[in-house]
Structure 1
Amino acid sequence: MISLPSPQQLRYLLSLADHGHFGRAASACAVTQSTLSAGIIALERQLDAALLERGISKRPVFTPLGLEVVERARQALAALEAVAETVASARDPLSGPLRLGVIPTIGPFLLPRLMPALREAFPRLRLWLREDQTERLVAQLESGRLDLLLLALPCACGEAETLPIAPDPFLAALPAGHRLVARDRVPVGALAAERLLLLEDGHCLRAHAMDACGLPQGTVPAEEGFAATSLHTLVQMVASGLGVTLVPRLAVDGGVMAGTSVAVRPLERADSTEAPPGRTLALAWRARSPRAAEFRDLAPAIAAAVRGE
């Protein structure tokens, strides 16, 4: 009979892979460094395989086999956690810890009103939040480090299951005195003659804004000389007269324009029968997650928070 690694041994191995440092990995596991090292050595002996290179480097260096074992270990622990989650979900839905990832163009504007609503509706639910860009959040979801994502579609969500929650139309953000401020609505085509300010690469809102303006992905406007790291910075750049941008209504309702002279106007397409440019707020979770029904139950509360109810 094959001798199987223990979940604790696998946790030590994953912690070392994730932190890249024996001391930090041990702290994350709430054990001493010697305990963690001994656990990994015991795992290597049990498997009769070298998972780490032993040399002068103080940082852990995984062998090719060790890297493969790390990924297998991640899958194995995720499967074990799914067993426990299935039972817990059936016994007491929407309770206990939930690791939620949220993108930066949603979190600051929705969470202040969403969190109190969730605490009231689901008092036994304990939310742990992680804010990051879409690509990194999806990777953490796939690896089992996050349970649920709150993001914007369209996006490259891998094999995750997605549930649209609410539309989030774009508004044109214009400097005070700009010629387009006099219009009730701004034609999307009118933005072609403007310097369009965008978030830096990696933010899905950048791709959404470029798509709304008909710009090929992977390109930037010829006049663009800057890229912002946050919507607040982007709005300040518009206020300084550096150009125009697109902002989601969620961010405007969440106060991103507070204290500025920036004007916002709805957008309209050349074909008035088409919906105005925007994005769709959505939840995403691992396909076949045992908590999928719980996640769907969260959607109405999140949609209500988006509407400000």
Structure 2
Amino acid sequence: MRIRDWLEGARLRTLPAAVAPVFVGMGGAAALGDLSWGKSALAFGVALFLQVGVNFANDYSDGIRGTDAHRVGPQRLTASGVVSRSTVLGLALSCFAAAGVLGLWLVVWAQTWWMLAVGLLAVAAAWFYTGGKRPYGYAGVGLSELMVFIFFGLVATVGTAWVQSYSAPWWLWVAASGIGLASVALLLVNNIRDIPTDSEVGKKTLCVRIGDKASRWLYAITMVVSVACAAIATAWWMALPMAACATPGLVQVMRGSKGKNLLGALRNTGLYALAYGILAGLGLALLPL
């Protein structure tokens, strides 16, 4: 078993989008005059471990169902047989446990005990995306997209700011919605790529349900509204650099790229999410609101 295989299983390419909401939340806390580097570091740790846990959990659940046998993209550990099922499951649970420990530390420090319930809901949402007898990731009614928007947008962003400033102004919710939509776009382009293989194995994602063309338009709308959210939350001209960052992925998706040709769009959408986090975070921290 090579280190490269473990890194592929962890899907490190997803991590920039995972930490992007924390950048936005830090910007919000700074705008409110309450930025704490220590609390922000813990929030980063929670986001990273939760995302890697999600990746290993999806690898395990999809692998035991056989839905990853013919997927396009990086090798999955369980489906390929490179690692035993129990090992992948153990990795997922270990990452969730690490996220829980850091999250508990953050909650105790901030004295925001009610956020323990939010953390438990986040872990449950991560597991039941593809885990359990009836995973909502296979329902095809948009629950996956909704959960991504809530937990990798609103909760991660507003939660990061709240444990530092104990405040959540309207502009913070708008900025959080923008990064949430960027995360939804990342999920959409991933599922657009997998429409053929998901259809074969009965994995009813939203993209499978509504079809290729409608999914691409939904991706475009999601990206455009995300850019608009950044401009509304910070300054109108913020739409310019945001649009520049969004354009490469948008062009690739709307030109009809398929299969492996969509891997570039997946990468560019992830980079857009990271750029959103950094630019919106700086905008909130430095611009007069």
Q: Whose radius of gyration is greater, 1 or 2? A: 1
Q: Normalising by the residue count of structure 2, what TM-score does the alignment of the two structures yield?
A: 0.25
Larger proportion of helix? 2
Q: Normalising by the residue count of structure 1, what TM-score does the alignment of the two structures yield?
A: 0.24
Structure with the larger RCO, 1 or 2 (CA within 8 Å, 6+ apart): 2
Larger proportion of strand? 1
